[in-house]
Amino acid sequence: MATETQKTYIAWTLRIIVAVLFIVSALAKLSKAQLLDSPYFAISTFEVKQLYPMGFSEGFAPFFSRTLIGIELALGLLLLQKNYLRKFIIPITILLLSVFIGHLSYVTFLSGGNTGNCGCFGELIPMTPIEAIIKNIVAVGLLAYLFVLLPKKTKSENFWVLTTVLFATILAIFMLAPIQPPASNFEVSSPEETTTDTIQQVTVDTTAIIVSKDTIKKIEAEKTEVKKEITEPEKHKSGYASYFSKIDNGRKTLCFFVPGCDHCRVAAKELTELKQKDKNFPEISIIFMNEEADLIPDFFKYAGAEYPFKIIEVIPFWKVLGSGKDTPGVKYLWNGNEYKYYYGITENKFDPVDYQKLINKPFSELKK
């Protein structure tokens, strides 16, 4: 049996470990926002990898993320004081970690993989979702043991200490990472001012025909209309010309990949295999998310070929990818018109067999 002195030492050790974990996690999420010279106001990978894909709006996500990080920092500091530690602070901290565990488990289940940085420690300590889940489970175990070690009866406690620390930390986060008006670096080729939110699929008028006027030889003769077959769609400005100048000319394959994403690498390799079999395969261009960009050489090595690419920041990437969409993304464009968009790894995922059939279809069949 441990003595009271030993219990006190163990309890303080646990408090310090978990407190440091929370404090470092909160501050790490701010690091990229402070270091990046960017017009975007995202707080590191946490906001763009967790909040935007969940459907948080660009206006609400910055407020939610800063408030949540402020709460995380407050809990880390409050674990080092005695007021309502056992009654309130520890249970709330366990609850918050449980929510994180549930969310990360759900995301991992949906994505079917364990790749990329979940953003729990920003860019300071990249962690995969599984690693973050294990870290949180360990923290819950330490807090549960701490809860058992602490005495049930305590002296008078001051609730104002909790509220003061909480509001002070949230305010400090907003001061350290002030929200700036968002700016978009996605420039479309249209002369009219627009943003990525205005990029929409344009439907070609498939009923249009060209009638020859020289078919009437005599007034008494039967009128005959000669239809000229349209073999390709009219040119349309897709909005991607700011990335690839010739993207709206001819048939193109436009991809949205993350360098460290295993599913993206598989899709790229499948495209390479298709391209090797078909000399007329639509030219491949890639828009990479600016996350682990140093892995791009390895990405192309796995894919088996190199392709023209552009790297854009994380928030613009998600906006260009499209609301509700996920990586890997593969689009079939013809003269700037979009005819197919594969995305994610579920029912809409990239299908090389389907894509090969699609690109070999004449325009007359695509119109149907």
Q: How confident is the model at residue 55 (pLDDT cuts 50, 70, 90)?
A: low
251's CB contacts (< 8 A; 6+ apart) are 282, 283, 332, 333, 334, 359
The residue with greater pLDDT, 260 or 40, is 260
Q: Mean pLDDT check: name the lowest of 5-14, 211-220, 359-368.
A: 211-220
The single-letter code of the amino acid at 78 is L
Question: What letter would DSSP give residue 132?
Answer: H
The yes-or-no verdict on residue 325 having pLDDT over 50 is yes
Average pLDDT of the segment spanning 311-326: 84
d(CA 290, CA 283): 22
Of 301 and 190, the one with more pLDDT: 301
The predicted pLDDT at position 276 comes to 93
At 142, the amino acid letter reads L
Q: Which of 62-76, 105-119, 205-219 has the lowest mean pLDDT?
A: 205-219
- pLDDT tens per residue across span 101-118: 998 887 777 655 555 666
Q: At what angle do helices 129-149 and 90-111 cross, to 10 degrees?
A: 160
Query: What pLDDT score was predicted for residue 194?
Result: 36
List phi, psi (to 5°) of 47. -70, -45
214 pLDDT above the threshold of 90 = no
Torsion over CA: 315, 320, 323, 326 (sign): negative
**CB neighbours of 365 closer than 8 A, spacing ≥ 6?**
none
**Average pLDDT, stretch 195-221?**
44
Over 70: is that where the pLDDT of 69 sits?
Answer: yes
Say if CB 342 and CB 263 are below 8 A apart.
Answer: no
Output the CA–CA distances (angstroms, integers) from residue 227 to 55, 203, 213, 215, 230, in the order listed. 48, 21, 11, 11, 9
Question: Residue 137 has what pLDDT?
Answer: 95
- Which sign does the torsion angle of CA 160, 163, 166, 172 carry? negative
pLDDT of residue 2: 67
What is the pLDDT confidence band of residue 143, given thresholds at 50, 70 and 90? very high
Phi/psi at 300 (5° precision):
-70, -30
- pLDDT category at 85 given cuts 50, 70, 90 is very high
Q: What is the pLDDT of residue 123?
A: 65
Q: Which two tokens stand for residue 346?
A: 């579920």
Among 57-66, 88-97, 244-253, 311-320, the range scoring the smallest mean pLDDT is: 57-66
Instruction: Tell me the per-residue pLDDT of 24-35, one tens digit each, with 9 for 90 and over.
Output: 988 887 754 444
DSSP character string of 275-303? HHH-TTPPEEEEEEESSSGGGHHHHHHHH
| DSSP reduced 3-state for 65 | helix
Measured CA to CA, the distance from residue 341 to residue 353 in angstroms comes to 14
| Cβ(366)–Cβ(335) below 8 Å | no
185's tokens: 């670096």
**Secondary structure element (H or E) that encloses residue 14, with its range:** helix 4-35
Q: Look over the chain and give the mean of its residue pLDDT values, rounded to a whole number.
A: 79
* Residue 174 near residue 185, CB atoms below 8 Å: no
Which band of pLDDT confidence, cut at 50, 70 and 90, is reported for residue 122?
low
Residues 354, 362: Cα–Cα separation, whole Å = 15
Tell me the pTM.
0.57
Chain centre distance of CA 319:
9
CA distance 30 to 41: 11
Around Cβ 275, how many Cβ atoms within 10 Å? 18
- Which among 147, 43, 30, 171 has a CA at the least distance from the CA of 52? 43
State residue 199's pLDDT score.
37
Upstream peptide bond of 181 is cis (omega within 30 degrees of 0): no
Helices (H) and strands (E) in the chain, counts: 11, 7
Which stretch, 56-60, 260-264, 272-276, has highest mean pLDDT? 272-276
Angle in degrees, CA 156, 161, 166, rounded to 5: 145
Instruction: Measure the CA–CA gap between 305 and 313, rounded to whole angstroms.
Output: 24
The half-sphere exposure of 124 on its side-chain side, counting CA atoms within 13 A, is: 18
Instruction: Report whether 336 contacts 238 (CB < 8 A).
Output: yes
